[in-house]
């Protein structure tokens, strides 16, 4: 049955006239009473109207209400809809409608009527009007004071002053969107709002009225808050807790959508805490271990909340501050302070060094002072950082790197020389020492040296820092000497040496070094199994010249070679190297090697023995020469005699005779001419050549057997004649 028209209403009954299968009928039907709107409420900032009316419980089944919304004083219907009622508790029904146009722009009126399938629809209720803003002496723009939500659409309107109408609205100089609302008000619709990209993030609206007056309004577009992401809390000292989160999309600095953030500790009665944009700090609640917190972010366009639960002792991030760094030679002590009283927790710290590695250690000092001793290399620059955690759960920030340089390695090297005195029970020991610093640029301040040995009693001798040797008289037994360099308070270096007992040690045969390279001496010697603590090579820095300033060099066990560069040696100077083996009971001389870094020929001339023996065909030269004199600038390998016939430059009249044995100091030169002068030059010979010659000139004798015949025969003939002629004398 369709609804029919009520012709006359009498006491709730309608007289109706209708057509049924070609017949016209009159009937009376029950008509629903005229409904009435009990409340009309406008929520301006949400642009919604709440319409309320009373309904009877029986109205719920098969009942429909038609609602109309109109604008302006002429009730131009802009919205018309049928709604079915649903069950509800109260008997006042409320229905909401959201307007595109701000409600302030114009009057909005609402009316309703009631339909039921068993009766004639009710008459319309009276219009109930929500008034728009009353015109004043100023043009008004709506929505007013409200931040607009990005991505939505918005309708703006201009309400002119009394008696005037709006002629245009422009948005950022664009006039294309205008909608007329009634006679005076104009509106503009904008879809999909975006945050303006220009520097001032504002939509600028200009309304022009019929008098030509312009009014301006800026409108802000923003976005609602985002749920705080990665919310977490931590404490460095168990008394102040800081929660941080990622607030999500960044807001522009001109954004007018003011935000508030509050933190609630859900399981306490603490008042909410105001927060920064992405962090919040609050005081820990005494005795509270587990915290349930939530962070609420709220602004004009919405709100979001995020919650987080934690046990405070699981969220400790210790903060560490550097203490002292005390660099040593091979170890360095570092200390740092954990800035809170975390003694009850198991504090674990990590220390890294660069170069180097990471060391992990636990630190449970009551004062919060942690210390570690690191094994490091001497004289090296390191950079170190430290961080701590509770149980290794959450690591704190690394400290700023701290740089330091370990001390140079200083070693003391001790040697000795032993002199047997004429008394067989008495020896003179010279202890010699030198300091070696791994970094030659480093300065090491020495207070002095302490020399100690024991005999019947313990002896101690103090030597000032400038001294490098000590003389001690000892007996024939074995002695232990200790030399101690006193660097500064609490730092000393020891060196130890054993003086063997006097045993009338056989001196090894001196070996000549064949040839040294121009670079220096390449010493090598026979390995000795009992030399368990290496070898020592000693020499005098001036060779054989006196006094001898002793130099020594230690060679580790298992190595039986030593290279000594030539720059430390003088050419033409003979050096003797004593090679000692280091044994449990002292050092024993193993080998003596002697040689030159470079042999020179500036030898003295031999001393010729005169008179020189000669015959008519030979000369025997004899000379004196100390071939073993260590002052020679080279080893003597023999002698060279140069023979030159006087008054002749013929090459055949010049020849050499050499003597290959340096101990043979005479030579007979044969095959000379009789009664002839010869110059003889004798020089000592070395690998490098002859030295200064000694010269002598001699004449060979005459051969009489031949010579006498030549002279004697004429003489005898003359004598014979004289004798024969003698008797005739005086006749």
Ligand X SMILES: *[C@@H]1O[C@H](CO)[C@@H](O)[C@H](O)[C@H]1NC(C)=O
* Residues contributing to the site for ligand X (CB under 6 A): 1, 61-62, 66, 72, 74, 80-82, 115, 117-118, 151, 174, 176, 182-183, 192, 194, 229-230, 246, 267, 290, 292, 309-311, 314, 341, 343-344, 454, 457-458, 511, 514, 559, 561
What is the chain's Cα-based Rg? 63
Q: How far is the CB of 308 from ligand X (least distance, A)?
A: 9
Return the number of the residue (182 or 500) whose C-beta is nearest ligand X: 182
Using alpha carbons, select from 466, 470, 473, 480 the residue that is nearest to residue 432.
470
Using alpha carbons, select from 539, 532, 540, 538 the residue that is nearest to residue 581.
532
123 alpha-carbon distance from chain centroid: 89
Q: Are strands 586-596 and 510-512 parallel, antiparallel or unpaired?
A: parallel
Return the number of the residue (94 or 559) whose C-beta is nearest ligand X: 559
Q: Are strands 561-565 and 520-524 parallel, antiparallel or unpaired?
A: antiparallel
Q: How far is the CB of 129 from ligand X (least distance, A)?
A: 15
Report the distance separating Cα 712 and Cα 365, nearest Å.
129
Return the number of the residue (311 or 403) whose C-beta is nearest ligand X: 311
SS3 string, 331-342, reads EEEEEEEECCCC
Return the number of the residue (384 or 560) whose C-beta is nearest ligand X: 560
Long-range Cβ contact pairs of 584-587 (< 8 A, separation 24 or more): 584/498, 584/532, 584/533, 585/478, 585/498, 585/500, 585/501, 586/478, 586/498, 586/499, 586/500, 586/501, 587/416, 587/498, 587/500, 587/536
Return the number of the residue (456 or 724) whose C-beta is nearest ligand X: 456
Q: How far is the CB of 249 from ligand X (least distance, A)?
A: 11
186: helix, strand or coil: strand
Q: Is the preceding omega at residue 547 within 30 degrees of 0, hence cis?
A: yes
Return the number of the residue (341 or 362) whose C-beta is nearest ligand X: 341
Q: How far is the CB of 633 from ligand X (least distance, A)?
A: 20
Return the number of the residue (83 or 719) whose C-beta is nearest ligand X: 83
CA count, 13 A, side-chain hemisphere, 654: 6
Per the CB < 8 A criterion, the answer to whether 339 and 236 are in contact is yes
Q: How far is the CB of 166 from ligand X (least distance, A)?
A: 14
Using alpha carbons, select from 151, 132, 135 the residue that is nearest to residue 143.
132
Q: How far is the CB of 646 from ligand X (least distance, A)?
A: 41
Q: How far is the CB of 73 from ligand X (least distance, A)?
A: 7
Return the number of the residue (229 or 663) whose C-beta is nearest ligand X: 229
For 560-687, where are the alpha helices, taking DSSP H only?
none
Return the number of the residue (311 or 425) whose C-beta is nearest ligand X: 311
Q: How far apart are the first and last CA of the chain?
A: 229
Q: Which two tokens stand for residue 676?
A: 């002839």
Return the number of the residue (564 or 603) whose C-beta is nearest ligand X: 564
Element (H, E) at 159: strand 154-159
- 709 burial level (CB within 10 Å; 0-12, 13-18, 19+): exposed
Using alpha carbons, select from 116, 104, 131, 112 the residue that is nearest to residue 53.
112
The region that residue 675 occupies, defined by phi over 0 for left and psi between -120 and 50 for alpha, beta otherwise, is left
Using alpha carbons, select from 110, 114, 103, 115 the residue that is nearest to residue 126.
110
Element (H, E) at 714: helix 704-725
Q: Which two tokens stand for residue 225?
A: 């808050």
305: helix, strand or coil: strand
Q: 288 φ, ψ to 5°?
A: -85, 125
Per the CB < 8 A criterion, the answer to whether 92 and 112 are in contact is no
Q: How far is the CB of 38 from ligand X (least distance, A)?
A: 22
Q: How far is the CB of 2 from ligand X (least distance, A)?
A: 8
Return the number of the residue (276 or 670) whose C-beta is nearest ligand X: 276
Return the number of the residue (190 or 407) whose C-beta is nearest ligand X: 190
Report the distance separating Cα 398 and Cα 470, nearest Å.
53
Q: How far is the CB of 313 from ligand X (least distance, A)?
A: 8
Q: Which two tokens stand for residue 227?
A: 């749920």
Q: How far is the CB of 564 from ligand X (least distance, A)?
A: 11
Return the number of the residue (118 or 198) whose C-beta is nearest ligand X: 118
Q: How far is the CB of 82 from ligand X (least distance, A)?
A: 4
Q: How far is the CB of 692 from ligand X (least distance, A)?
A: 27
């Amino acid at each position: 049955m369709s609804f029919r028209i009520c012709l006359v209403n009498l006491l709730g009954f309608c007289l109706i006239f209708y057509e049924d299968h070609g017949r016209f009928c009159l009937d009376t039907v029950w008509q629903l009473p005229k409904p009435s709107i009990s409340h009309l409420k406008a929520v301006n900032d949400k642009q919604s109207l709440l319409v309320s009316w009373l309904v009877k419980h029986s109205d719920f089944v098969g009942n429909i209400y038609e609602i109309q919304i109109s604008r302006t004083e002429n009730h131009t219907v802009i919205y018309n809809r049928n709604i079915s009622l649903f069950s509800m508790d109260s008997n006042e029904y409320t229905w909401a409608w959201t307007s595109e146009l701000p409600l302030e722009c114009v009057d909005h009126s609402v009316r309703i009527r009631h339909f039921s399938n068993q009766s004639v629809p009710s008459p319309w209720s009276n219009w109930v009007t929500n008034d728009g803003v009353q015109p004043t002496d100023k043009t008004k723009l709506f929505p007013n004071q409200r931040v607009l939500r990005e991505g939505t659409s918005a309708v703006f309107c201009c309400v002119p002053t009394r008696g005037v109408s709006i002629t245009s609205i422009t948005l950022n100089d664009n006039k294309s969107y205008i909608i007329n609302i009634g006679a005076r008000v104009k509106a503009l619709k904008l879809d999909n709002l975006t945050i303006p990209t220009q520097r001032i993030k504002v939509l600028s609206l200009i309304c022009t009225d019929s008098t030509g007056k312009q009014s301006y309004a800026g409108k802000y577009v923003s976005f609602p808050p985002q749920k705080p992401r990665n919310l977490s809390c931590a404490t460095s000292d168990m008394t102040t807790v800081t929660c941080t989160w990622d607030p999500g999309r960044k807001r522009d600095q001109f954004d007018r959508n003011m935000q508030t953030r509050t933190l609630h500790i859900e399981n306490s009665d603490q008042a909410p805490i105001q927060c920064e944009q992405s962090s919040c700090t609050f005081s820990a609640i005494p005795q509270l271990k587990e915290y349930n917190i939530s962070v609420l972010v709220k602004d004009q366009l919405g709100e979001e909340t995020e919650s987080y639960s934690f046990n405070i002792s699981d969220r400790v991030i210790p903060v560490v501050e550097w203490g002292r760094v005390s660099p040593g030679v091979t170890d360095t002590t570092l200390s740092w302070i954990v800035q809170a009283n975390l003694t009850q927790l198991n504090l674990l710290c990590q220390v890294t060094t660069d170069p180097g590695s990471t060391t992990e250690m636990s630190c449970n000092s009551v004062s919060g002072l942690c210390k570690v001793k690191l094994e490091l290399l001497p004289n090296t620059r390191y950079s170190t950082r430290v961080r701590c955690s509770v149980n290794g759960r959450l690591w704190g920030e690394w400290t700023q790197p701290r740089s330091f340089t370990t001390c140079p390695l200083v070693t003391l090297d001790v040697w000795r020389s032993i002199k047997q005195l004429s008394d067989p029970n008495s020896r003179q020991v010279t202890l010699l020492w030198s300091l070696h610093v791994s970094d030659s640029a480093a300065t090491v301040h020495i207070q002095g040296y302490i020399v100690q040995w024991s005999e019947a009693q313990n002896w101690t001798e103090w030597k000032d820092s400038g001294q490098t040797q000590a003389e001690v008289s000892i007996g024939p037994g074995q002695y232990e000497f200790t030399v101690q360099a006193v660097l500064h308070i609490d730092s000393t270096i020891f060196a130890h040496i054993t003086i063997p007992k006097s045993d009338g040690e056989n001196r090894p045969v001196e070996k000549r070094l064949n040839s040294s390279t121009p670079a220096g001496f390449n010493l090598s010697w026979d390995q000795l199994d009992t030399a368990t603590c290496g070898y020592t090579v000693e020499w005098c820095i001036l060779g054989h010249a006196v006094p001898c300033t002793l130099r020594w060099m230690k060679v580790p066990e298992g190595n039986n070679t030593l290279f000594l560069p030539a720059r430390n040696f003088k050419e033409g100077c003979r050096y003797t190297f004593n090679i000692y083996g280091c044994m449990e009971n002292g050092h024993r001389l193993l080998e003596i090697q002697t040689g030159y870094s470079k042999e020179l020929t500036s030898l003295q001339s031999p001393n010729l023995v005169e008179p020189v023996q000669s015959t008519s065909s030979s000369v025997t030269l004899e000379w004196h020469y100390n071939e073993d004199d260590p002052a020679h600038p080279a080893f003597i390998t023999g002698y060279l005699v140069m023979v030159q016939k006087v008054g002749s430059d013929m090459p055949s009249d010049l020849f050499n005779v050499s003597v290959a044995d340096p101990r043979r100091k005479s030579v007979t030169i044969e095959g000379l001419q009789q009664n002839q002068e010869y110059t003889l030059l004798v020089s000592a010979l070395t690998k490098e050549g002859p030295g200064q010659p000694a010269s002598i000139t001699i004449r060979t004798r005459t051969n009489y057997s031949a010579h006498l015949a030549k002279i004697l025969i004429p003489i005898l003939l003359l004598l014979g004649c004289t004798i024969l002629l003698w008797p005739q004398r005086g006749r």
